[in-house]
Amino acid sequence: MKALILAGGVGKRLKPITDSTPKPLINIAGKPIAVHQIQWLRKHGITEFIFAIGYLKERFIETLGDGSKHGVHITYSIEEEPLGTGGALKNATDLLKDEETFYVVNGDIITDINPNRLLEAVDEKTTCVIALVPLPSPYGVVYTASDDRVVLFQEKPIIRDYWINAGLYLFKPEIFKHLPDRGDLETTLFQKLADERTLKAIRYYHYTIWKSIDTHKDIEEAEKLVEKYKIYIA
């Protein structure tokens, strides 16, 4: 099975780092995010990778090459102009159209989710499966009693009543007929499929090791996550 890594974005909120380094190549605990992702997916049997690249595309080719030094095979799908995540996936149609199923991963996440669990949700009616993780609060949460007393303070708890998109998807090739030429998966595809009742989402109650790198603070938090759980140790 193949995995497409969505790695074409600019990463504006991580400037000035991203002036010269694309976000998926930012180092987290001594390795680029992209290398962490290769090691994570390789651990689960995935050795064929496609990197959808655009911004600073030469840096990916210089850093990752053909993937042989990481024990995988890498090909590249190049965007000559920004296409969004949906357009980037469509741009890679020829590289994925013959697969029975394939993974798509946002190029800015650190996680230890077992991607093969998504396969358990696939049946003949399933077009795609989305991994969900519990909502991590960016703030401390204060619990109060009816007499105005503070009874509990939790610093940045995991809020398990709400679930968010983990940026890990399993698709069938029929998804290509739903994709826009330009636009994001989240805004142009998923709600459409949900309305048509062709979308299934699987929730990972036991896979909460996850972090999206969007800001400078996220880099520090992702490094703590990697070191705490000893993930991606090659």
- Residue-wise pLDDT tens digits, 90-140: 999 999 999 999 999 999 999 988 999 898 888 887 888 999 888 888 889
Residue type for position 37: Q
pLDDT for position 74: 98
pLDDT at position 203 is 63
Closest by Cα among 68, 73, 8, 76 to 46: 73
Q: Out of 15, 97, 156, 192, which one is annotated catalytic?
A: 156
Sign of CA dihedral 131, 132, 133, 138: positive
Three-state DSSP class for 135?
A: strand
Lowest mean pLDDT among 64-68, 71-75, 104-108, 190-194: 190-194
Closest by alpha carbon to 201, among 139, 98, 128?
Answer: 128
Q: Where are the alpha helices (DSSP H) in 93-231?
A: 93-96, 185-188, 190-195, 216-229
Residue 211, SS3 per DSSP: strand
Q: How far apart are CA 38 and CA 71, in angstroms?
A: 9
For the residues 17-43, what does the mean pLDDT come to? 95
If DSSP states are collapsed to H, E and C, what string results for 76-88?
EEECCCCCHHHHH
Residue 198: its pLDDT value, please?
A: 67
**pLDDT higher than threshold 90 for residue 52:** yes
CA–CA dist 84, 95 (Å, integer): 18
User: pLDDT tens, 164-177?
Assistant: 899 999 999 999 98
Helices (H), the chain: 33-43, 57-64, 84-91, 93-96, 185-188, 190-195, 216-229
Active site residue 69: no
137-153: average pLDDT = 88
Decide: helix, strand or coil at residue 140: coil
- In order of 2, 14, 112, 214, the CA distances from 211 in angstroms are 23, 15, 10, 9
CB 154 within 8 A of CB 141: yes
Average pLDDT, the chain: 90
Separation of alpha carbons 53 and 216, rounded Å: 22
In whole angstroms, what is the distance from residue 214 CA to residue 108 CA? Answer: 7
Per the listing, tokens 């997916």 go with: 41
What pTM value is reported for the model?
Answer: 0.90
State residue 234's pLDDT score.
Answer: 47
Tokens of 115: 């991607």
Domains observed in the chain: 2-133+163-229 (3.90.550.10)
What digits encode the pLDDT tens for the residues 176-223? Answer: 988 989 999 988 888 888 877 766 766 655 566 889 999 999 999 999
Which region among 31-40, 56-65, 100-109, 117-126 has the lowest average model confidence (pLDDT)?
Answer: 117-126
Q: In this prediction, what percent of the chain has a pLDDT beyond 90?
A: 61
CB 153 within 8 A of CB 143: yes
- Report how far residue 92's alpha carbon sits from residue 165's, in angstroms, rounded to the nearest whole number: 22
